[in-house]
Amino acid sequence: MDSGQSKKTPRGRAAGAHATTQLRTEALRAMPSIDECLRAFAGDAECDRLGHAYVRLMLRRAQAEVRSGLIAQAAHSPAPARARLVDEIVRRARAAIAADEPALRAVVNATGVVLHTNLGRAPLAEPAIEAMAAAARAPVNLEYDLDAGGRGERDSLVEEALCALTGAEAATVVNNNAAAVLLALNSLAAGREVVVSRGELIEIGGSFRLPDLMQHSGAQLREVGTTNRTHPADYERAIGPETALLLKVHPSNYRVVGFTSAVGIAELVEIGRRHAIDVVEDLGSGALIDFARMKLPREPLVAERIAAGAALVTFSGDKLMGGPQAGVAVGTRRLVEKMRANALRRALRCDKLTLAALEATLRIYLRAGDLAAAIPTLRLLSRGVGELELIAERARDILSQRLGDAFNLEVVATTAEIGSGAQPTEEIPSRAIRVTHGALSPEAIAAMFRAARPPVIGRIRDDAFLLDVRAVDDASAFAVLFPPARSRS
């Protein structure tokens, strides 16, 4: 005895644990089967309209929730009667069916990152969306030559436009830029050496590493230079009988600053010419126009690299170009034809929806006089602070009506990013709504906004939740439905 309280002996603790285990076992034995729940669901008009597999799935989810609850309370109370459990599972399943939504949902990107990889990167232009819808509704001439009346080449849908915009001789398109690099290395350098600067062996989102990709391509990596300094002589010394390519890689999502040195594309091409070796550049973001014209940080242009002599340049369609996810390779016809002849290309090729959106995007680049107005990505990046201020103020008013007086909403100056590895050290002036609450942490506020319909994704900075409007088209995007107030605390 100690202070009027008894201590449990080891035997007593073991007996208590055994009793709890027994109660949990009994609770699980009481759990009705999915077939029992299906019988309770059967005959319902709603059930009859739904697919059998779908109803089973929703019942299985509900059963798992009820089972977890029984296990949690097994030490404190006996399991309810089997009939009550059936009713509860069916009730939960019905509620889940009523509230069911597609897994892929529209969200409000208030993160301040315009090309947010986790949120799908570039929003498409309306003509691209319309082209995808049209291609989805009917058969199309994906690989059919209407003039010849026979099999065609799907690259022909976009090759002419890509060559016109970049100055290249030929072009091919695959699923994404990583696939374009993989196909290029496998087609042009399998079993041979590819020389690349150690400072360009990047790792990007999702733990994707260039050396790993090169290994899977069958090419042999030959690193030169150091992390921060690579000189022309480093490439010269590395070139040998087994050298197939000189590879240059855009640094993507990082920058090395300070005591640095790198070999530019023109100088690398000259080294390649002296040794009759092609230069391939992974340009990453793939800008087709000069961003400095829109008072944005300048990115290297695909056309500049082709003009400088790169034999092949690969880049993304869904980054700075503002199109769908795609990997584009432009360059000499000799190299592009080698890529087309590779059996691996079939596994990496794009479908009709991607090509429809890509062709429509390229047509905008060729035809539109005001690209910043026609391409959503360019419009979002180039808007002035005055416009953003107005959007933020309207959004604050909308949110104030929905959230009530307990929340403090303030329009503040902030900075946004291009995203997806484009100019990672550059920041663009922006405006945001700073949201705080006396009883809620920034994390709790962020969770509340994620639970809204549609979900709103912001960011936490300086112990406050921010809603950056740089990537938001209009203040009405914030006219969302929040969960009941009781679930916010």
The pLDDT of residue 204 is above 90: no
**Rounded to two decimals, what is the model's pTM?**
0.87
Average pLDDT over residues 142-155: 95
The pLDDT of residue 5 is above 90: no
143: confidence class by pLDDT, cuts 50, 70, 90: very high
- Residues 300 and 324 sit within 8 Å (Cβ to Cβ): no
Q: What whole-number percentage of the chain has pLDDT above 90?
A: 72
Q: What is the pLDDT of residues 412-431, one digit of tens each?
A: 999 999 987 666 667 899 99
Per-residue exposure over 51-85, b if at least 16 CB sit within 10 Å of its own CB, e if not: eeeebbebbeebbeebeeebeeebeeeebeeeeeb
- Residues 249 and 210 sit within 8 Å (Cβ to Cβ): yes
Q: What is the pLDDT of residues 285-327, one digit of tens each?
A: 889 999 888 888 888 999 999 999 999 999 999 999 999 999 9
Average pLDDT over residues 75-102: 85
Q: What is the pLDDT of residues 322-372, one digit of tens each?
A: 999 999 999 999 999 999 999 999 999 999 999 999 999 999 999 998 999
Helix orientation angle between 177-189 and 333-340, rounded to the nearest 10 degrees: 100
* Confidence at residue 31, expressed as pLDDT on a 0 to 100 scale: 86
The pLDDT of residue 12 is above 60: no
253: confidence class by pLDDT, cuts 50, 70, 90: low
Average pLDDT over residues 401-416: 96
- Residues 355 and 365 sit within 8 Å (Cβ to Cβ): no
How far apart, in whole angstroms, are the C-alpha atoms of residue 132 and residue 377?
18
The pLDDT of residue 461 is above 90: yes
Q: Which two tokens stand for residue 52?
A: 């059998």
* Confidence at residue 192, expressed as pLDDT on a 0 to 100 scale: 97
* Confidence at residue 441, expressed as pLDDT on a 0 to 100 scale: 96
Q: What is the pLDDT of residues 132-141, one digit of tens each?
A: 999 999 999 9
| 284 torsion bin: left (phi>0), alpha (psi -120 to 50), beta (else) | left
* Confidence at residue 1, expressed as pLDDT on a 0 to 100 scale: 43
* Confidence at residue 19, expressed as pLDDT on a 0 to 100 scale: 54
Average pLDDT over residues 446-455: 96
4: confidence class by pLDDT, cuts 50, 70, 90: very low
- Residues 298 and 292 sit within 8 Å (Cβ to Cβ): yes
* Confidence at residue 68, expressed as pLDDT on a 0 to 100 scale: 85
- Residues 210 and 182 sit within 8 Å (Cβ to Cβ): no
Spatial CA neighbour of 47 closest among 98, 88, 99, 84: 98
8: confidence class by pLDDT, cuts 50, 70, 90: low
* Confidence at residue 54, expressed as pLDDT on a 0 to 100 scale: 92
CB atoms within 10 A of CB 314: 32
Candidate CATH numbers 1.25.40.340, 3.40.640.10, 1.20.120.80, 3.30.365.10; the one for domain 126-374: 3.40.640.10
* Confidence at residue 49, expressed as pLDDT on a 0 to 100 scale: 84
Place of tokens 């990013």: 417
Name which residue leads in pLDDT, 105 or 255: 105
The amino acid sitting at 276 is A
Mean pLDDT rounded to a whole number for the chain: 89
* Confidence at residue 20, expressed as pLDDT on a 0 to 100 scale: 59
- Residues 358 and 195 sit within 8 Å (Cβ to Cβ): no
- Domain 108-116+382-487 is found in CATH 3.90.1200.10: no
182: confidence class by pLDDT, cuts 50, 70, 90: very high
CB-count exposure of residue 474 (10 Å: 0-12, 13-18, 19+): exposed
Query: Residues near 11 by Cβ (< 8 Å), separated by ≥ 6?
Result: none
The pLDDT of residue 43 is above 90: no
Domain boundaries defined on the chain:
10-98, 108-116+382-487, 126-374
Average pLDDT over residues 166-180: 96
Average pLDDT over residues 109-113: 97
How far apart, in whole angstroms, are the C-alpha atoms of residue 26 and residue 233?
76
* Confidence at residue 21, expressed as pLDDT on a 0 to 100 scale: 64
3: confidence class by pLDDT, cuts 50, 70, 90: very low
Spatial CA neighbour of 115 closest among 299, 300, 319, 372: 319
How far apart, in whole angstroms, are the C-alpha atoms of residue 64 and residue 92?
11
How far apart, in whole angstroms, are the C-alpha atoms of residue 171 and residue 332?
8
Degrees to nearest 5, angle at CA 6 with 3 and 8: 140
The pLDDT of residue 175 is above 90: yes
